[in-house]
């Protein structure tokens, strides 16, 4: 009799375990990372998670730099290589650009460059144009440099199967990269006025910054249409809490007046940064 009851209990427990497994199956969590593409001085990869309800795909270009090496912002300086990304549209994913944390300026004269001397991640603006399983295939070209610049060309791929749960570590990496981006203009940090003198080939900027009371000027980084480049700010002054500066503009042979909205400004003041297209007066 006891053996009979024991068998009934074991059978009952097994049925409960089977039922629990049916209702509490944990979704498979897969790493949504490409393989690292290695180069002298560093390595690159793509990290992504499944599309959000609006179709956007949170993703980053993850760049790992070895000590003493650097990579570049979108306007790198005289001899740098701006990062470039392209994707294959047949995969059902559209790409509308890449975003950058505020860079820093390094070196002087012909050795001056704008970029990053520590590992960095660039958020990618991706959107799914279809449902179901996705395959993300990205071509990347950028420079990783020390005494010489090493061009890095890599084709990176990863899969985003439908129904795969987000890997929290991947999502954290992506969220950290987004939080490191420059803020939008605010009352405490914004451009008050901007104008372009086509004849004099100069930009005139007036800014409100969080550190205006200390008299410390912000670092200014500008990127414009192909062929245009921007010199070191000159004639910097502060009046009533506003910084004013002139920025020389190198205009290409077939260039002309810059259009309002065609120049991107990133300003760094202490540990804060702000990004905005310039609307010319």
Tokens of 65: 């730099």
CA dihedral 15, 18, 19, 24 (to 10 degrees): 150
Residue listed under structure tokens 């992504």:
48
pLDDT in tens, 79-107: 788 999 999 878 899 999 999 999 998 87
- Band (pLDDT 50/70/90 cuts) for residue 266 is very high
d(CA 268, CA 217): 9
Position 278 pLDDT exceeds 70: yes
User: At a CB cut-off of 8 Å and minimum separation 6, what does 188 contact?
Assistant: 208, 209, 210
Name, of 99-113, 136-150, 178-192, 206-220, the range with top average pLDDT. Answer: 178-192
* pTM for the full predicted model: 0.85
Angle at 45 between CA 40 and CA 50, to 5 degrees: 180
- Length of the chain equals 281
Q: Which domains does the chain have, with CATH numbers?
A: 37-179 (2.60.40.1250), 190-277 (2.60.40)
- Residue 22's φ and ψ, nearest 5 degrees, are -65, -40
Tally of CB atoms within 10 A around 2: 6
């Amino acid at each position: 009799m006891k053996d009979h009851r024991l068998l009934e209990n074991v059978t009952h427990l097994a049925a409960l375990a089977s039922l629990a497994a049916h209702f509490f199956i944990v979704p498979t969590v897969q790493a949504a990372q490409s393989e690292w593409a290695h180069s002298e001085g560093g390595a690159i990869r793509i990290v992504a998670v499944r599309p959000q309800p609006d179709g956007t795909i949170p993703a980053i270009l993850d760049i790992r730099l070895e000590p003493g090496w650097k990579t570049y912002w979108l306007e790198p300086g005289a001899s740098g290589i701006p990062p470039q990304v392209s994707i294959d549209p047949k995969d059902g994913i559209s790409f509308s650009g890449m975003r950058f944390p505020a860079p820093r300026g390094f070196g002087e004269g012909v050795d001056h460059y704008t970029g990053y001397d520590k590992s960095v991640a660039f958020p990618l603006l991706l959107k799914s144009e279809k449902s179901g399983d996705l395959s993300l295939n990205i071509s990347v070209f950028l420079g990783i440099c020390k005494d010489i610049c090493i061009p890095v060309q890599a084709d990176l791929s990863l899969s985003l199967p439908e129904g795969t749960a987000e890997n929290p570590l991947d999502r954290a990496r992506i969220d950290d990269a987004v939080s490191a981006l420059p803020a939008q203009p605010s009352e405490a940090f914004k451009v008050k006025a901007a104008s372009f003198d086509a004849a004099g080939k100069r930009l005139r900027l007036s800014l409100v910054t969080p550190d205006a009371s200390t008299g410390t000027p912000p670092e200014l980084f500008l990127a414009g249409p192909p062929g245009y480049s921007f010199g070191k700010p000159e004639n910097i002054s502060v009046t009533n809490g506003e910084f004013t500066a002139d920025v020389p503009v190198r205009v290409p042979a077939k260039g002309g007046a810059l259009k309002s909205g065609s120049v991107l400004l990133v300003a760094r003041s202490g540990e804060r940064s702000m990004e905005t297209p310039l609307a010319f007066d």
